[in-house]
Amino acid sequence: MISAQKDSVRYLDFSEPFVNSELYHSLRSQILDLLPQSIYSPSQESVDGFLSECVSSHESGAEKKLCFAALDDLNHVLGFVQFRSFSSDADLDFVLVSSHCRGRGIGKLLLQNSFLFLKRNGVERIILEVGTGNSAAKRLYVSLGFMEVSLRKNYYRSGEDALVMELLI
């Protein structure tokens, strides 16, 4: 369990031993249900595969898949984030906060707590791509200390460009 809490929100690392099969399937279902709330969401198949791999990827391999969620007292998913970690670097693949929870700081705290976990596990740099039109996400990343490093033309299926940003932790 990621330790920080705010407004009865708990921050959960999917690899924790107490994430049993029943809890995992409940969280998985809720996360897949949240995906249509963002135009930047990856496919359900992609996230489903990622979730199934992240529970066991801590044990071996160069690439580790990491998933974190913000939960309320009833284990309802309020937000979700996924990373791929390669030794001292991590890619922030996707972050989503439920539309009814946006603006409460849940995404920021979820990311900050995830960064603490990553830092404790040897990650020194986090890289992400964000759509140039996603001003709310860009503001969030800048507030966390991310800096723009490059631009990827036509990165998204829609043809939108993506900013590449990095954070040294």
Q: Report the C-alpha gap between 136 and 33 in whole angstroms.
A: 22
Sign of the alpha-carbon torsion through 27, 33, 39, 45:
positive
User: Taking Cα atoms as reference points, which of 132, 119, 120, 131 lies closest to residue 167?
Assistant: 119
Catalytic positions are 129, 141
User: Taking Cα atoms as reference points, which of 72, 143, 67 lies closest to residue 108?
Assistant: 143
> What is the largest distance, in Å, between two alpha-carbon atoms of the chain?
42
